[in-house]
Amino acid sequence: MKITVLTGAGVSAESGIKTFRDSNGLWEGHDVMEVASPEGFKRNPEAVLDFYNQRRRQLLTVQPNAAHCALAELEKTHDVTIITQNVDDLHERAGSTKVIHLHGELLKVRSTFDEDLILDWREDLNLGDFCEHNHQLRPHIVWFGEMVPMIETATEVVEQADAVLIIGTSMQVYPAAGLVQYAKPNAQIYFVDPKPSISESKNITVFAEKASIGVPKVVELLK
């Protein structure tokens, strides 16, 4: 069975990664546009690089949780593709092999001259770190106002799915929010979130639980 999994901040929050919209979340004390837009980077590149350096350092101290591990386990019996809004590598570390990152990856950087020149990066990124063309490197993150290059690939994956799992995301951030409408009419949809934004129907099963509790239950159902 082809299974597509859409994951958001709620999956990583339990590993200790601060989430975008929580009251004690990531962006407090930071105007989003200052740290997550091309304009902010132009205005104050040092502040933006420092912000992502802190996020990167934090990522290297946390581990995948039960939700990540259950999804990796599902690959043993089904054809699973994960589409994530998260910029961490916790799905990969848990063992998932097909992961599409809609919003980029924290452990990669790219050239400001050639956006296809992408490098693996686990250290701090500083002003003066240049690509081979002598241009500044920037975080490989999709900032506000930028295109989401993987959205078409993600749409195709959803269209082909027999089952769609939606985990730890309010599904309010576009274009990701629009993805579920591409599911086949008879696709089974499983929604795992402590505060679910959709209700159950014939083909929608809701688990109003945090990811580490709800995801293993869904995986057990699908085995």
Annotation says 103 is catalytic: yes
- Residue 67 contacts residue 13 (beta carbons within 8 Å): no
CA distances from 94 to 35, 40, 141, 217 (A): 29, 33, 22, 17
Q: Which of 103, 133, 135, 140 is catalytic?
A: 103
Long-range contacts of 50-56 (CB under 8 A, 24+ apart): 52/106, 52/125, 52/139, 52/141, 53/124, 53/125, 55/26, 55/87, 55/106, 56/106, 56/107, 56/121, 56/122, 56/124, 56/125
For residues 8 and 10, what is the distance between their CA atoms, to the nearest angstrom?
6
Q: What is the pLDDT of residues 171-222, one digit of tens each?
A: 666 666 789 899 999 999 999 999 888 889 989 999 999 999 999 999 999 9
The CATH architecture that domain 18-61+104-141 belongs to is 2-Layer Sandwich (3.30)
- Mean pLDDT across the chain: 92
Q: Pull the structure tokens for residue 156.
A: 């195709």
In this prediction, residue 25 has a pLDDT band, given cuts at 50, 70 and 90, of very low
Which pLDDT score, from 0 to 100, does residue 176 have?
64
Q: Locate the domains of the chain by residue range.
A: 1-17+64-103+148-223, 18-61+104-141
Order of strands across the sheet that contains 99-101: 99-101, 79-84, 2-7, 163-167, 188-192, 204-207
pTM of the full structure: 0.92
Residue 4 bridge partners (DSSP): 81, 164
| Separation between Cα atoms, residue 101 and residue 122, nearest integer Å | 17
Q: What angle do CA 7, 12, 15 make, to 5 degrees?
A: 155
Mean of pLDDT values over 136-153: 95
1-17+64-103+148-223 folds as Rossmann fold (3.40.50)
Q: Reply yes or no on whether the pLDDT at 45 is more than 80.
A: yes
pLDDT at 22: 47
- What pLDDT score was predicted for residue 31? 75
pLDDT per position as a tens digit, 76-113: 999 999 999 999 999 999 999 999 999 999 999 999 99
